[in-house]
Structure 1
Amino acid sequence: RGVGDLDAAHADPSSPPVAVLHLEGAEAIDPGLETLELWHAAGLRSLGPVWSRPNDFAHGVPFISPSSPDTGPGLTAAGSALVRRCADLGIVVDLSHLNERGFWDVARLDAGPLVASHSGAHALCPTSRNLTDEQLDAVGASGGLVGVVFACPFLRADMADDADTPVELIADHARHVADRIGVDHVALGSDFDGATLPREMGGVAGLPMLLSALTRTGFTGDDLAAVAWDNWRRVLGDWWGPDT
């Protein structure tokens, strides 16, 4: 359960898919964090403290458009303890769905590279779910990354939940993040589990279409390798530490 497992699968085309166990929302974890240890033992390696609602740890952004991500209070005391313990255990803390004050609370804890697994650029689509340029700057300064989301209402300037959204808008968000904080902090974020995605891309079989769109916005071959694999590998390794 480490980067070595990812490397082995990546190097072997016949390998079955390898997944990272992630929880979106920490409702399954008690405020005393006893169950966090159980989840870690079972293979948990990534955790978003919230989905888009409040819980014992933090406040998620409601789906409001247009809106700033500054929608309420930050981390609770239990939330700060959760972030610190995740850092101790090597569990990535995912900032997607967390409101802006919570984001800055996590940044101040300096637990590890800031990661937003599936978010977009607020400058291009002003929904509460996206990151402001100031938040992007913090992600870059920490050595973290933004997995660019594929969900149509988080891509479009009009925030419409419309499957006729062109794939080029995903590339535009990736381009904005890269221009702001560098290609080393851009990754693919998807959100295949229920969001409205661009119809022309469909599911994972359409990812080559996205890579072509990224090329058209100026990403080189080396850039594509970074966005599609290397950046995630680096940041996961920074959080997880050496394989055990």
Structure 2
Amino acid sequence: MPVMERPSGRNLLKALDPPVLPDILDLQDPDIAAQGAVEVNIPFYSQRNWGDRIMLQFSPALGETLPQVRRYYYLAVPNELTYGKTLPVYVAPLWALQDGTYNVSYVLADRAENMSTSPAKSVTVKNAPAAPVAGSVQTSFFGTYSGGLTAEPIESWIVASDYDLPLDASGILLRSLDDQASVSTIGAKLGLYLAGSERPFVTLSCQRDGNWSIEPEPGVSSPMRLSRGDMVSIMHESSQPERIYLALTL
């Protein structure tokens, strides 16, 4: 699958408006804290069509040493973005962002791989929560994830101290969201990876009843020893767009 940063088609899409969000994001703001996510609104664009893919990116401003943060949206129903309306894309968990200044923009790609990049908006983040240490990681995914856009993980974190992770429900706690509007795609898969590995050490799969299964990679013993400084990442395993609504603790 083509990577969004390397378009293969002609850039025929019209100019885009910048994303809509405050100049200053206080992550201790009650509304943001209650939602558990930063909402970024994508303005209406006239050439929208089903299958459009949006990559929202928080890029560190010049002189900042911040991680780049990306989130993705798949436009399955073009009429959800009508004239005068905006399309919300969420950044969660909040600790994915750090205090500092970002240039926030988005890349739009259609099914023919025609692409456009919006102007960037300078946004300052403050009061970002600290990232959790391994052994008490809590994160969530909600929205449609479009496969094949990037080889980058959905989330990553550094193991703070040596510990043994059981590769079953006693060590990896999964909870689906209950409302009918938040139903994951049956068969959706997420993989947990150690940095440098080409295969996940465990795969999480959505079953027909809406619950998620935990499947260790063959040959990987449980519990799995994680060492201080290891990087663990979560990847979307499918090349197809999938709805994923899941809270994860390990």
Q: TM-score, normalised by structure 1?
A: 0.30
Question: Greater relative contact order: 1 or 2 (C-alpha under 8 angstroms, separation 6 or more)?
Answer: 2
Q: Which structure has more helix as a fraction of its residues?
A: 1
Larger-gyration structure (1/2):
2
Could you tell me the TM-score, scaled by structure 2's length?
Answer: 0.30
